[in-house]
Amino acid sequence: MFDATENDPISPAMRALLEVFSTELSEVKFPDVDAEVLEEAAGRVRAQAEAVAKAQAALEAARQVLAEGQEALVQKGQRALAYARVFAEEDAELSTKLEAISLPRAGRKLARADGGVATEAPAQNDESAPKRRGRPPKSRPSAPLFADGSQPEAVTAAALESDEAPVVARPVAA
């Protein structure tokens, strides 16, 4: 049943009139209108509003079933298209027809908290993907530290022979 204040299909002004007819004018009868006639009409309106709410709930359920059916069709279509493309590798005309077909990506199914199944939005491509956040990864040097192929010990020995102070690498605290 409807809440008398929030979801009542009867307007506040009409509820006020019904209240007046049920209290101060309860004994008064006008031609074709009295408290009983007004209450019956209000009851019919509430019942009709309840029928509309049930129909809307059924419509929403039917839309959900339709969306699930469409999702299943897209998934089967993607699979069928993949098979057909492999099958048509030797047939240029059929391959051209199949390459012209572009089906939307199927969304992944996720379990919802209420036990139902929800579909996730289709996977995004690079243009529509959100920008990655955070610090970019450190770049690695492309060349080895000793590009000439020498070993660190050989560099130290060469520096000692030339009377130069060897450069010793010490770890840097991060």
Q: Which residues pair with 30 in a beta bridge?
A: 33
Cα radius of gyration rounded to whole Å, the chain = 38
> Contact, 17 vs 38, CB < 8 A?
yes
What does the pLDDT average to over 10-25?
93
Determine which of 2-11, 56-65, 75-84 has the lowest per-residue pLDDT on average.
2-11
Supply the pTM of this predicted model. Answer: 0.48
Q: What is the pLDDT of residue 73?
A: 95
> Contact, 110 vs 120, CB < 8 A?
yes
| pLDDT tens-digit readout, 110-162 | 555 555 555 555 554 555 566 777 777 777 666 555 556 556 666 566 656 66
Closest by Cα among 44, 46, 37 to 17: 37
Whether the pLDDT of residue 163 is over 70: the answer is: no
d(Cα 149, Cα 158) in Å, to the nearest integer? 14
- Contacting residues for 75 by C-beta, under 8 A, at least 6 apart: 106
Structure tokens at 45: 């309106």
Q: What is the pLDDT of residue 79?
A: 93
